[in-house]
């Protein structure tokens, strides 16, 4: 007689429906008290007005804002850094990890199947399933086999897997925004170090010009000694001033080497590439203050966008914790062969199968679910509090940069007036010294005042460049969160 494959009987649909209905009714028994969020996100309207500053246009920084300085070397350095900086590589790795977490979470909602094969050989108990011979094989050594394919699927009737996927997607967004924040930090750090090098070159020019002046004073003092108008004391004083200036030049040269090394490190290069960095040629980039600053600032800072994404992720995790109070209903099935004696393993009579729902309902867990729910709720509050602090820091950052910029033009005008007066005083002092009408000490004092004013102007120009870059960073450096609206960039937290 041929073996016939036994059909798998279908479970009556009424019975399956009754089980699902019973699970839904039981879900009502697993009640809980909602835990609303105690923190409230800061909105754009609460930022208020920012300090006024003279702006040449009303545009936000572009994504490649550094190109406005018109320096090809700076462009190459930043482009090279963006291609291979370790800080960005680690940020990209976190994005890949977040994407993998999404795939892992999504797979939980899909059907899954596993195949298994268990083979064994050993003595059977005489007092268990198999009777003693001659009725059975208890006490004998026999082989057993079990080959099966089992499958299952989480029906996710309450949507818990869906909110976990939402949480994973929000975490991915946060990782992407963290990458944007790292990119902004990297580009502005390179630009500020580069602007510092430009300022050091300007100071080097000031020191060199002053050195030429002091050399001429030394020559003049020697002429006056030859004419009997001065002594060697004045010559030695002039030579001492020249030597002190040379020491300062050497100290500045060391500082410039360090700055080049910093730029090379930020760009992801080895120290030997620092010597290849030529003198910067930065144009004066205009300050830009968008008219929609208070309204759009929350959507223009990458770290704020990352914080909003983390609030969304925490809110979804909180919702998933709430849904753990509901029954977990899975559909499971199995089909395979089981036999005593491997020769019969694949025969039709060894066929085994099963299908049906698996329902798990929490009845008493000593407060574990409640504690988990409360912990997730506190995560939402913590994320909102951290976001609010970041908003305060962002608003303060912009306000500080604008406050520093506001009086910069007036300060520069006063510094130029002081420099012009010092140059005229130096010219007159040198005329009197050459004519024997004033001592060398007077000329030296006036020359020191001139050096001070030249330093002040060079420092002021360096501050202008640095404040421009700092303002770009405070405004987000061209970043824009596509999910943030102009009406409000603040997130909505789950209140359940």
Instruction: Please state, in angstroms and rounded to a whole number, the distance separating the CA atoms of residues 331 and 334.
Output: 11
Average pLDDT rounded to a whole number, residues 57-79: 87
Residue 347 lies in a domain: no
In 186-340, DSSP assigns E strands to 328-340
pLDDT for the residue 306: 93
Taking a C-beta distance cutoff of 8 angstroms, is the pair 380, 494 a contact?
yes
Q: What digits encode the pLDDT tens for the residues 278-325?
A: 999 998 876 667 766 766 788 889 999 999 999 999 999 998 888 888
- 237 vs 10, which has greater pLDDT? 237
Q: Domain with 102 in it: what CATH number? A: 1.20.1600.10
Label residue 184 by pLDDT band (50, 70, 90). Answer: very high
* pLDDT tier at 8, thresholds 50, 70, 90: very low
Judge whether 118 lies within some domain: no
Residue 434 lies in a domain: yes
Q: What is the pLDDT of residue 383?
A: 93
Q: In the prediction, which pLDDT does 11 show?
A: 47
Cα Rg of the chain (Å, integer):
39
pLDDT of residue 28: 44
CB 69 within 8 A of CB 286: no
Candidate ranges 119-128, 248-257, 433-442; pick with highest mean pLDDT: 248-257
Q: Assess if residue 186 is contained within a domain.
A: yes
Is a pLDDT exceeding 80 seen at residue 445? no
Q: Which of 88, 34, 17 lies closest to 302, judged by CA?
A: 88
User: Domain span at residue 197?
Assistant: 33-107+174-325+398-474
Residue 202 belongs to some domain of the structure = yes
Q: Is residue 369 part of a domain?
A: no
Mean pLDDT of all residues in 236-258:
86
What H or E segment, with its residue span, contains residue 444?
helix 440-474
Asked if the structure places residue 298 within a domain, the reply is: yes
For residues 476-496, average pLDDT: 65
386 part of a folded domain: no
* Structure confidence at residue 231 (pLDDT): 67
* Total number of domains in the chain: 1
């Amino acid at each position: 007689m041929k073996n016939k494959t036994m059909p798998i009987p279908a479970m009556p649909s009424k019975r399956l429906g009754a089980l699902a209905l019973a699970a839904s009714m039981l879900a009502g028994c697993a009640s809980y008290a909602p835990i609303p969020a105690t923190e409230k996100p800061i909105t754009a309207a609460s930022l208020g007005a920012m300090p006024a500053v003279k702006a040449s246009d009303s545009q936000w920084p572009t994504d490649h804002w550094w190109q406005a300085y018109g320096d090809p070397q700076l462009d190459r350095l930043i482009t090279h850094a963006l291609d291979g900086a370790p800080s960005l590589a680690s940020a990209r790795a976190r994005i890949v990890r977040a994407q993998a977490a999404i795939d892992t979470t999504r797979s939980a909602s899909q059907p899954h199947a596993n195949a298994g094969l268990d083979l064994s050989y050993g003595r059977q108990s005489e007092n268990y399933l198999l009777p003693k011979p001659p009725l059975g094989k208890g006490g004998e050594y026999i082989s057993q086999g079990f080959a099966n394919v089992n499958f299952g699927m989480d029906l996710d009737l309450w949507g818990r897997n869906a909110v976990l996927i939402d949480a994973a997607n929000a975490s991915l967004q946060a990782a992407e925004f963290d990458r944007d924040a790292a990119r902004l930090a990297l580009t502005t750090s390179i630009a500020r170090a580069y602007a510092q090098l430009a300022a050091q070159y300007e100071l080097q020019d000031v020191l060199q010009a002053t050195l030429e002046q002091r050399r001429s004073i030394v020559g003049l003092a020697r002429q006056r000694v030859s004419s009997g108008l001065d002594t060697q004391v004045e010559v030695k004083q002039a030579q001492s001033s020249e030597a002190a200036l040379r020491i300062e030049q050497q100290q500045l040269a060391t500082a410039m080497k360090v700055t080049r090394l910093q730029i090379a490190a930020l760009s992801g290069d080895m120290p030997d590439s620092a010597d290849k960095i030529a003198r910067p040629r930065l144009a004066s980039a205009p300050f830009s203050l968008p008219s929609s600053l208070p309204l759009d600032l929350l959507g223009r800072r990458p770290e704020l966008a990352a914080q909003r994404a983390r609030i969304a992720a925490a809110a979804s995790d909180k919702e998933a914790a709430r849904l753990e109070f509901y029954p977990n209903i899975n559909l499971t099935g199995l089909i395979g062969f089981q036999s005593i004696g491997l020769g019969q393993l694949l025969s039709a009579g060894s066929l085994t199968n099963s299908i049906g729902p698996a329902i798990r309902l929490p009845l008493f867990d000593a407060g574990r679910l409640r504690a988990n729910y409360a912990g997730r709720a506190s995560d939402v509050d913590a994320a909102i509090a951290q976001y609010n602090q970041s908003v305060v820091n962002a608003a303060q950052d912009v306000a500080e940069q604008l406050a520093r910029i506001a009086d910069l033009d007036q300060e520069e005008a006063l510094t130029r007036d002081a420099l012009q007066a010092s140059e005229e005083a130096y010219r007159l002092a040198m005329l009197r010294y050459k004519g024997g009408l004033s001592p060398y000490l007077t000329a030296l004092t006036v020359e020191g005042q001139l050096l001070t004013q030249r330093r002040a102007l060079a420092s002021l120009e360096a501050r202008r460049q640095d404040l421009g870059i700092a303002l770009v960073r405070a405004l987000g450096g061209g970043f824009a969160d596509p999910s943030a609206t102009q009406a409000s960039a603040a997130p909505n937290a789950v209140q359940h």
